[in-house]
Chain A
Amino acid sequence: MQDLMLILPPLIVFLGATALLLVDLKIADDRKETVAWIAMFLLVGALIAAVMLLYFNRTGDVLYGFSNMILTDRYAALLDIVFALIGIGVFLLTLRYNRVHQIMRGEFFVLTLFSIGGMMLMAHAANLVTIFVALEMFSIPLYVLCGVARPRLDSEESSLKYFLLGAFASGFLVYGIALMYGATGTLDIATMLKQVERGQAPLLLVIGAGLMLVGLGFKVAAVPFHMWTPDVYDGAPTTVTAFMTTATKAAGFAALVRVFLLGPGAFVGSLVSAIAILAALTMIFGNLFALAQRSVKRMLAYSSIAHAGYLLAGIASVANIGQSANAVIFYLATYAATSLAAFGVLSEIGSMNRDEDHGLERYTGLAKRNPALAWVMALALFSLMGMPLTAGFTGKYLLFQSAVSSGLNWLALLGVITSVISAFYYLRVIVHMFMKEDATVAANNEQYYVSKPSLVMMTLASVAVVALGLLPTLLLNMFA
């Protein structure tokens, strides 16, 4: 029974999603909003469960369950909360977007819930097999979700690309797990960690961990395993993209934290340096590619690659492991809030124009047409840029600080330089929104309203961005 309590948040999501699958059959097509509300209700339940896990385990002990297959600690509970909040935020966006784009299907919500459940399970993983199962659990629904906008071609294309390359990456992951098992005779991360701490890190284990890094690097879009990202993010429906940039990234990094930062990976010098190099490549290429984009959605896809780079810098900072893990989890939370705010704006724009064209000209003069959207977008972009007083700054500060304290001065410096480069493309959007007029668009078009649920979500996300920028201790105190 205690085992079940430990994974109460994913359990609620899974069971609820299964039941919702049947409930959905009885709901008429024009009333699928009900499904969305039920899904949100489930996530609120999971949220409460996660808060309870946090509350009843105030000492932050690591509690194991299901024969050490899963665990629950502060990070797991916090990530559960993050996943649940992301889910709620995305569902609030779907109410208008999915209706306008005719993808208001019950399966959309059920699949997203299954995916969230898998991500939560990932946060609780204590065993490499659990990691693999959780990874597939959240990935397979995502493959389908990317293609949910059938018969739109680029949506189908993104789905197939993601599936093919994802299966490819999963292969590396499983092979890595197998090699690690071969090297250590165990799949339990804690046991493996003990062996490595005793200095038993044979090449086979290192190679296995490297292959796992490939599989997980694919999920978080680290260069050079990132190639799918722009095509898939661009082609998928915006609500799905919003979910993927925030939640998939968090789930992938949850696994990276477990296996590399808090696990055996942190004790192998060559692995750590490899991660640092990946981080550097990811920062550089993510930001450089983003510069050349004319579509805001594609630009955000590359920006999400760049942010994976900053996060990887945290994974490579192994001098003070607790501090780095805190920084990574904190950054994931801030990035989720910021990115949701930005994609909220994108989904509203997509609903207004009834298409998926996110060219810069679609954002020209937005401040006049729709000041609320323009301000939210500006705030989100400033936070992505890492402007002080926003959550993005605090997050980057903590990450680079842990990089510096681990002697990775060059990486922190590179992070700062690439952040400056990123200002070019973020500011370009702001300039278009605020300083240019668009004569072609009628100002009083009735479609140019912002839907209430989206507005609520964007407001909350913006408040979170500002609050975490001004008072980071609000969240950081939960780690202590």
Chain B
Amino acid sequence: MSTLVVLPILFPLIGVVINAFLGKRLGEKVVGALATLMCSAAFVVALMLFSQVSVSKEHAIHAEFGTWIGVGKLNVPFGFLVDSLSSALMLIITGVGALIHLYSIGYIHGDPRANRYFVYLNLFVASMLVLVMGSNYLLMFVGWELVGLCSYLLIGFWFDKVKNAEAARKAFVVNRIGDVGFILGIMLIFVTFGTLNYHDIFAVVGDHKTAALALAGDPVAPAVLSAITLLLFIGAMGKSAQLPLFVWLPDAMAGPTPASALIHAATMVTAGIYMIVRSNALFHVAADTSNFVALIGALTAFIAGSIALRQFDIKKVLAYSTVSQLGFMIAAAGLGAYTASIFHLMTHAFFKALLFLAAGSVIHGMEHYSHAHHSAQHIDPQDMRNMGGLRGKMPVTFWAFIIGGLSLAGLPPFSGFWSKDEIIVAALHNPLVFALLACTAVFTAFYTGRQLVMVFFGSARSKDASHAEESGMAMKLPLIVLSVLALIGGGLNLPGSMWLEHWLEPVVGVHEGGFNLPIAALFSALALVALAAAWVMYRDGKRDTSLTPQLSSVSSFLNKAWQIDALYRAAIIMPFYALSSFLARVFDLGGIDGAVNGIGTLTKGIAAALRPLQSGFVRSYGLVMIVGVVALMAWLVINTR
């Protein structure tokens, strides 16, 4: 049984090794097929593990493969934990992952670095599995960093474009800020609990369920738990793109679209939510942090949602929408509605991956014309202002986008409706969070409607749009499968059955409030109204030119993402540059370089002075030896008693 546990990680890793070393020889087709196959194999094993978990008595499989680090008190095993939470996420990662691998075969075809792309993708799947399957915080951190690396590599996949390289760097640096918080949190956990294994930590916390814990007679101050959870949350802020660290995610769209779908929508960015839900025992007893988490989540949802209203890049809209939806999940986790959070995570994985893949298909279709005609004037194939009327040309993509969009907008019976509704119901006892989330829900429906209308309805606004073509089978198939999942995904936790809630009970424990018919009806109606408003406003495709001055300044404020990048630039980056150039010129060049070079010159001088000793004559070598022997003998004679 325990060997089965490593297989999901092993399969993609095999793909990585084979494709990395033999990729050139195998050719793009074989590489893509192999990568997809390995990910699918991982999915099959994940299914087997899932069924094993469901029949096992404690709803969990533990597997340990020896000690990884054993230094003093610190003992970290290579341990894996497959329980209801991680097995569910494993299915999402490998299942959606496999679909996206398949889609990528069509999408990346013809790229000179296609082999490398699949290596990164497989590596990502393996890393993400390490993240969710590890049985301790350190292993989670390893996965956490590895997925960060993969994200960096894939954002900067076309690194020959400066913009992409900068986006990759930005993602890396911003994530690093969060990671520092995370690792500090892990250290504090170790200091407090003396272990990093989930099982041992939660056993201690779980027994007490109060803020005032006593560990081996040593009372743990509530402040310590607040600090731990806060530090962990800083990690989640970075990875799951929460305020104030969300700025990297919109830029991350520079990477290949399928990679964005997998990493920056469906899986990696939800690692923060996974971490919070995994640590629910800790967050549960740290009420202050939980409130803070809920507030940050709701604020992020609101701000990102408002920004998405005024974006023109098809992927940017989806990116801000992702940030906004992640805010929903984080808010739910902060409110203690862990199941709702995971539920939304899963449905979001379906419909957002679907939307991204559909958007990729749109972009792919848009590029047809300029590729075929080598047209000199390049228009941006991602700008929605150049699209329009794609409904008839790309029917499969259109329907996929409609299903994904309506799911995102929260219309029944699409999956997004059910999960979002649960979160809003959970927010009922927190007015501020509720208000923010309610506004966001309306925003969401509006920008989704706007996007649908601008891309697919009306008439074509450019040559590229009028000559767009539907994508091939490898890209269509995942769209269809994901459409079905986005349509029926709500069935995971339908009111009445509440399957997911029962499934996750061993991990998150608590029961939350369920379905609330008036709320559901109200929000469905609101979503419909917002969609209709979008239809009315953008049907003719000329809406943007006729804004009043006040409105247009708001519009540009939203378009520039609340000027947050500019704010960071002025408040952090510029002073930092000033400081570093001061340090470089005065401190480094003058002080440190002087000292270091001085030592270097000094040692070189000494060495040059010693050089004549090495004369090359055996007799002088022998003499040196004799001198050494005499000195040694003298030392021994003098020092022995």
Contact = CB atoms under 8 A, between A and B. Distances in A.
Consider the complex of A and B and state whether they touch directly, i.e. have CB atoms less than 8 Å apart.
yes
A161 B625 contact: no
Interface stretch (B253-261, B348-356, B446-454, B608-616): B608-616
Contact of B625 (A165, A201, A289, A292): A165
B578 interface: no
- State the main secondary structure of chain A at its contact with B: helix
Nearest to A288: B607
A274 B632 contact: yes
Contact of B603 (A168, A225, A231, A421): A421
Interface in B557-602: 599-600
B214 interface: no
Nearest to B632: A210
Interface in A280-335: 285, 288-289, 291-292
Contact of A207 (B625, B628, B637): B637
A424 B600 CA distance: 7
B640 A203 contact: yes
B519 interface: no
Contacts of B622: 164-165, 168
Contact of B639 (A214, A270, A285): A270
Interface in B608-641: 608, 610-611, 614, 616, 618, 620-622, 624-625, 627-629, 632-633, 635-641
B624 A224 contact: yes
Interface residues of A, number: 39
B545 interface: no
Contacts of B614: 227, 230-231, 289
A83 B490 CA distance: 64
Nearest to B621: A227
A162 B23 CA distance: 49
With most chain A CB atoms within 10 A of its CB, the pick from B70, B618, B627 is B618
Contact of B621 (A172, A228, A270, A271): A228
Nearest to A290: B607
A218 B607 CA distance: 22
Nearest to B600: A424
Contacts of B611: 289, 292
B629 A214 contact: yes
Interface string A166-181: 0011001000000000
Contacts of A230: 614
A225 B606 CA distance: 20
B199 interface: no
B511 interface: no
Nearest to B599: A421
A18 interface: no
B625 to A, nearest CB: 5
A164 B624 CA distance: 14
Contact of B640 (A164, A268, A278, A289): A268
A164 B618 contact: yes
A346 B604 CA distance: 24
A228 B628 CA distance: 14
Contacts of B618: 160-161, 164-165
A224 B636 contact: no
B603 A165 contact: no
5 contacts: A168-B622, A206-B636, A224-B624, A227-B614, A270-B639
Interface of A: 160-161, 164-165, 168-169, 172, 201, 203, 206-207, 210-211, 213-214, 218, 223-225, 227-228, 230-231, 268-271, 273-274, 277-278, 285, 288-289, 291-292, 421, 424, 473
Given A224-B627, A288-B607, 17 more contacts: A164-B622, A165-B625, A169-B625, A172-B629, A201-B640, A203-B637, A227-B621, A227-B625, A270-B635, A270-B636, A274-B632, A274-B635, A285-B610, A288-B606, A291-B607, A292-B608, A473-B67
Task: Give the 9 A-B CB pairs with smallest separation, nearest first.
Answer: A224-B628, A270-B639, A292-B607, A227-B621, A291-B607, A270-B640, A210-B636, A206-B640, A288-B607
